[in-house]
Amino acid sequence: MKRAIIALALLGSLLIPANPASAHQPVVLLNSDTSAAKGPLLVDGTVSFAVRASFTKSGEKKAFRAGFKAGDSVAVQLLIMDKKPENKLKNSALPTVIITAPSGASQTLKISERTKFFEPYSATNYLYLSRYSAPAEAGIYSFTVTAKSKAAVTIAVGEKEIRGEVLRGEAPTPTPTPTASATPAGYTLEQVKANNTAQKCWSAINGQVYDLTTWISSHPGGAGAITSLCGTDGTSAYINQHKGQSQPASRLSGYLLGPLAK
Ligand code: HEM
């Protein structure tokens, strides 16, 4: 999987910081950023970014990810421009933002204010809707924004006024390729064995085949526990560690490709 680095150098250099809220590096979510895995990754979530999500109708979703280390703080603010239609919308008609930590714990940003804020660089009036700050878990957080009507929001992440890196890449998908398609009976163990790297990591667990590639860097028990499963039947390793636990089971279900052929 090739990842292209989007250099925001030019924009970054134009936005010289004056106060913390003014210099967030802009990132615009695309219509194809419909899930965290497909959306951009803010490599260091402590660098200040302003992520813009605009929607044309209720039900649309856009998402992105941000990386944190233990000891970092997750600082997020939700803003709208102080203009129509957003500033006329009730809270219940504004997009919701769900933050999911690497452990899977998630929460919805609560809209609790409409505080005016003038952003001098773009000469734009904003309204703060919500501010959130908490100690970070190490790993990748996902941020999912869901529209309730036609509206746009800005999610400001991070506080450090340095230029940050944004990765965009072909999202790892379970789309079958000619060498990796499921037979009617399911995926073969040979196919699993062929995907035995951290770049393409499949594992069979309890008779099902999973693509764990994107889970490697998010696993609370360390990347090594997952990379050691790549290309193998990981059933016993998984059961030994996580038998009967709901969080690992629900995580795992998100990476399902299909049944292992008998
Ligand atoms: C694909 C398989 C796996 C999935 C989906 C998975 C998922 C998870 C999840 C969701 C947690 C957090 C649990 C919680 O906070 O309640 C966790 C923690 C953990 N996992 Fe896994 N896991 C997998 C495989 C493994 C394996 C094979 C090992 C060991 C060989 C392992 C070792 C650990 C450890 C030690 C923790 C605890 C980390 C901590 O709290 O400090 N995991 N895993």
Regarding the beta carbon of 241 and ligand 1, being less than 6 Å apart is answered yes
In short, whether 251's Cβ falls inside 6 Å of ligand 1 is yes
Task: Give the model's pLDDT for residue 253.
Answer: 87
Position 261 scores a pLDDT of: 87
pLDDT, mean of each 10-residue run, the chain (262 residues): 37 37 76 92 93 95 94 94 94 96 92 89 88 92 96 93 79 45 74 94 95 94 95 96 92 88 82
pLDDT at 118 (0 to 100) = 86
Q: Ligand 1 centroid to 249 CA: how many Å?
A: 10
Residue nearest to ligand 1 atom 24, measured at CA: 238
- Ligand 1 geometric centre to CA of 241 (Å): 7
| Of the candidates 27, 13, 19, the residue with the CA atom closest to the CA atom of residue 117 | 19
Whole-number Å distance, alpha carbon 45 to ligand 1 midpoint, is 23
**Ligand 1 close to Cβ of residue 138 (< 6 A):** no
The whole-model pTM stands at 0.52
How high is the pLDDT of residue 181?
A: 53
